[in-house]
Structure 1
């Protein structure tokens, strides 16, 4: 089965912290992409519930194998919408999360942003190849 895993070390830093998004294939081969989630200074443990600033909360999600286009500043391109949406923990809510190219200002409002254009283009191409195999959704695990 195809799957995705996002891993990033959270910490106190005014610089943007980086992680890796791993795309795994049924034959257990993996391709990894430089990525991030959250804004610089908002990537500490507990910041995942800071709306519009913190990284995506840890957990199990899924994305469609086919993206859609968004003109939203900071994305301006293909967007793989992460579900469930919203993500809820008690009174805390995060919503409208996805995987996209980290355009414009480095960092994201909680999405997973791929940091290298060539890597992003390869990721999109590979997901479309997976979709052509009849796969509708790809599981995503986020862990810190």
Structure 2
């Protein structure tokens, strides 16, 4: 969704795209960033909101981890090109271990596994272009 936001005398064009629950790609005047909202911070902010003319309902926030078949997905946080795949099917990985290198905006970004397990599926190869939110690797 695109918005025009005015702060003081400055006007900004802001585009927000949801990558996954609580994770968004935000573009401000063409500069992009990936923003993740932590569940605890989200709840704290909404508890502090005091708007006399508005009601705020805080609902339970869904967990970001999503089971897929017998595994969990590692998704691209931004669009880019796969430079190097560091794991193969059957490899055991630990939480925080790099699984591939993604080049985006002329920078190489290490994509790490947020959980431990065995690589069930590698859905990309070197040279592939990927989109934000696309599944790269499945860990079981």
Q: TM-score, normalised by structure 1?
A: 0.33
Q: As a proportion of its length, which structure holds more strand?
A: 2
Question: Relative contact order (alpha carbons < 8 A, sep ≥ 6): 1 or 2 greater?
Answer: 1
Larger Cα Rg: Structure 1 or Structure 2? Answer: 2
